[in-house]
């Protein structure tokens, strides 16, 4: 009988000790915020364009974490969708970009400066503060900061904002992927061992 009591007491004691340890750990190593949202946000392209229907990338990341479909980011393209699929372990999806042909073309806004009337509407629309200017003064886009989100084009009352394709420079140029099996890789120099 005493053996049983001892066993019970020992188990209760262990339970109390582990409970205390776990309780302490859950307080001490508490995870702030929602790490999955941060991970999703890191994968999104941060154009803040709102094409997903959310006011920015982070709100969309939060929505995805809550179960929204993860294929609504046209700027991120299929790569982002695939990365999210991997991260979330969800079913693979194709990006929902309404079949836009130039979806994978990087663009930046360009203000035709002599046509700008200085209304500041585009400045207010820019989600990343990439447009400088003041009321009744010409505005211009900081090209390096522009995410190409398109949001400034619509508010412009004089339609002086164009979305221009970013042409590759010597710094951003990269080799093309070889055409693949059965194709002659024209950039390869064949050194023949005679």
Nearest by Cα to 157 from 115, 108, 107: 115
Q: Is 46 in the site for another protein (CB under 8 A)?
A: yes
Q: Is 175 in the site for another protein (CB under 8 A)?
A: yes
The answer on whether 119 is annotated among ligand-binding residues is yes
Of 77 and 90, which CB lies nearer to another protein in the complex structure? 77
Q: Is 134 in the site for another protein (CB under 8 A)?
A: no
Residue ranges in 82-111 that form contacts with another protein under rule CB under 8 A:
none
Q: Which stretch binds another protein (CB under 8 A): 1-9, 18-26, 108-116, 172-180?
A: 172-180
- Phi, psi at residue 12, to the nearest 5°? -60, -40
The answer on whether 126 is annotated among ligand-binding residues is yes
> What is the CA 187 to chain-centroid distance, rounded?
34
Burial code of 13-43, b = ≥16 C-beta within 10 A, e = fewer?
eeeeeeeeeeeeeeeeeeeeeeeebeebbeb
Where along the sequence are the contacts to another protein (CB under 8 A)?
41, 44-48, 56-58, 79, 127-130, 145, 147, 168-170, 172-194
């Amino acid at each position: 009988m005493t053996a049983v009591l001892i066993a019970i007491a020992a188990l209760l004691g262990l339970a109390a000790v582990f409970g205390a340890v776990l309780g302490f750990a859950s307080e001490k190593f508490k995870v702030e915020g929602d790490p999955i949202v941060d991970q999703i946000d890191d994968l999104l392209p941060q154009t803040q364009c709102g094409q997903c229907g959310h006011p920015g990338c982070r709100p969309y990341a939060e929505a995805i974490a809550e179960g929204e479909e993860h294929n609504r980011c046209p700027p991120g393209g299929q790569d982002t969708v695939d990365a999210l699929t991997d991260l979330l372990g969800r079913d693979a999806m194709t990006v929902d970009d309404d079949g836009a042909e130039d979806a994978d073309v990087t663009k930046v806004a360009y203000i035709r400066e002599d046509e700008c009337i200085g209304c500041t509407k585009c400045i207010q629309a820019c989600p990343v503060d990439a447009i400088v200017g003041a009321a009744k003064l010409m505005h211009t886009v900081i090209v390096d900061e522009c995410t190409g989100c398109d949001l400034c084009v619509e508010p412009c009352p004089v339609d002086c904002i164009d979305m221009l394709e970013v042409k590759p420079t010597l710094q951003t140029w990269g080799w093309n992927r070889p055409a693949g099996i059965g194709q002659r890789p024209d950039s390869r120099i064949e050194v023949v061992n005679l």
